[in-house]
């Protein structure tokens, strides 16, 4: 699975003018499943996301995790993270999981996140979403985990 984590002071997802998910300080996680991914890969990624030390401690060093600071987690599906831009000017998306598999893995990731962390919000898989965020830092961390 691929993720792009952004430390935010706030973030929200709107669909058709309605806010469907919002958080205050925390992490926005844009996630993309790939064809060989499994729920176990998603769980491995989630554990990394929750424990990644990207928040400042008392000395101002990035030494605290999302769980340490009790921040929100906004999870948004984004198949374009698997874009192949190696040929031509139009990206290809064959490296992203097919929609049914992608949705299943996204749903499993969200369910595991809700079981492990008290403050989880989401977008909606496959929807046309507008993601609003205030990147704190800015801090943006790309991640890719495989089985």
71 Rama class: left (phi>0) / alpha (psi -120 to 50) / beta: beta
Strand, helix or coil for residue 101: helix
What is the set of active-site residues?
78-80
Q: Where are the beta strands (DSSP E) in the chain?
A: 2-15, 18-23, 26-32, 55-56, 62-64, 72-77, 120-122, 130-144
* Residue 7 contacts residue 135 (beta carbons within 8 Å): yes
Question: Which residues touch 37 (CB under 8 Å, ≥6 apart)?
Answer: 1, 97, 101, 105, 146, 147
């Amino acid at each position: 699975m691929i993720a792009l984590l952004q430390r935010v002071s706030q973030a929200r997802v709107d669909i058709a003018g309605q806010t469907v998910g919002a958080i205050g300080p925390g992490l926005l996680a844009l996630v993309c499943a790939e064809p060989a991914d499994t729920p176990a890969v998603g769980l491995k990624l989630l554990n990394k996301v929750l424990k990644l030390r990207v928040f400042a401690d008392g000395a101002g060093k990035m030494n605290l995790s999302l769980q340490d600071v009790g921040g929100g987690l906004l999870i948004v599906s984004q198949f374009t993270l698997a874009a192949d831009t190696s040929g031509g000017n139009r990206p290809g998306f064959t490296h992203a999981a097919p929609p049914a598999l992608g949705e299943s893995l996204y749903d499993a990731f969200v369910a595991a996140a809700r079981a492990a962390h008290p403050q989880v919000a989401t977008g909606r898989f496959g929807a046309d979403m507008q993601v609003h965020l205030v990147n704190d830092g800015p801090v943006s961390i790309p991640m890719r985990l495989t089985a």
